[in-house]
Structure 1
């Protein structure tokens, strides 16, 4: 089974990279670790943790989302609700809340979800954000729980991956493995680092 290391990055969109950098780097304190771009295109990556990043494309004409409260049901085509970022502990959760409130940005009171405590807000692009810390002594990764009163059939099979549901993939032979150049293919070697 594949071993995952986290969310490498979530890719969002913005029409205002300056406001996005000011919010994610300067207000939230996430390092801006990579920036790709050329005329009419940018993609910047912010470090959430040692394994997780959030990235933003900037394209002309992108407008902020209409703010929708976190977890409120919707109808029609819809795929994304909110981004939840983990923080170390309750002290860090209050620090984020106080920083947002001090900047004049709406932020909820902390909410107890049983295994996590969370606060909710929106970034300048209208992206719904949650900041969460684990409740000490409650580890759903170590001790999974299903309290849904009417769980779907697949969920009733338990927390572990079920073998045989999908066909096994055929391994690509080493000699056939190709990595094709993308927007950042010359990122490390051919383009000037503008921070040097």
Structure 2
């Protein structure tokens, strides 16, 4: 048995229409379909909802639920904002910069470009408070991924024992921190 791919990723949204329009305008995602019912099919719980599906490219689907009868959505107060996010791949750095400029021109605060060595990213929040990342590959991505592949199990094992960051791949962000 093997998973083929992610079918969809679902998040909660504050306003279904605003979410569809924002993702269409800001990230050029097409609205695929909507499902709305008064009962949850899996639990049979009476709870009206709107379930939206957006085309995130290459067969990937981003979904949202608007739940008008539930308390206002929030975040886990014990998890930093930067941790929970969804990242989308864009073709190259030119495309990443074009998205950054487009988002900023439309009033979205954008953090980055951040150089992660294997890829470069920008970060921003959608109108629901979800952190979104756009990432493009670095021209040296393949070589760096091969280097990281060689140490992944050693890093995981060391982390598991010590709960301290292993130094096997500290070169990744050395440019930002000075030579480590």
TM-score with structure 1 length normalisation?
A: 0.65
Q: CA deviation at 1:15?
A: 2.3
In the superposition, relative to structure 1, how do residues 42 and 135 fare at CA in structure 2: closer, same or farther (>3 Å)? same
Q: How far apart in 1 are the matches of 2:105 and 2:72?
A: 25
Structure 1 gap ranges (5+)? 72-80, 157-196
Equivalent in the alignment of 2:41: none
- 1:185-196 to 2 correspondence within 5 Å? none
Superimposed CA distance per residue, residues 15-63 of structure 1 (whole angstroms, 9 cap, x where no aligned partner): 2112111111122100111111135211111111122111001111453
1:9 is matched with 8
CA offsets per residue over residues 142-169 of structure 1, 9 Å max, x none? 6261567x7232999xxxxxxxxxxxxx
CA RMSD, Structure 1 to Structure 2 (Å): 2.9
Kept after mapping to 1: 8 A contact 2:118/2:144: no
The structure 2 residue matched to 1:123, chosen from 123, 126, 143, is 126
Distance 2:108 2:155 in 1: 37
> Which of 93, 106, 110 in structure 2 is aligned with 1:90?
93
- Give runs of aligned pairs for residues 112-151 of structure 1, distance below 5 A: 112-139=115-142, 143=146, 145=148, 151=155
Distance 1:107-1:154 versus aligned 2 partners, 3 A rule:
same
Which structure is higher in strand share? 2
The residue aligned with 1:37 is 36
* Residues in 1 aligned to 2:134 and 2:143: alpha-carbon distance in whole angstroms: 17
Q: Which runs of 4+ in 1 moved over 6 A?
A: none
Q: Of 92, 105, 108, which aligns to 2:108?
A: 105
Give how far 1:137 is off.
2.9
**Structural mapping, 1:145-160, within 5 Å:** 145=148, 151-153=155-157
Equivalent residues of 1:46, 1:55 under 8 A apart? yes
CA change 1:42–1:141 in 2 (3 A) is farther
Matched, 1:58 2:61: no
More helix by share: 2
Over 3 Å counting, the alpha-carbon distance change for 1:57 and 1:141 in structure 2 is farther
Between 12-21 and 131-140, report the one with greater CA deviation.
131-140
- Mark the structure with the bigger radius of gyration: 1
Secondary structure at the counterpart of residue 139 of structure 1 = helix
Task: Give me the TM-score of the superposition, normalised by structure 2.
Answer: 0.70
Change (3 A) 1:83 1:144: farther
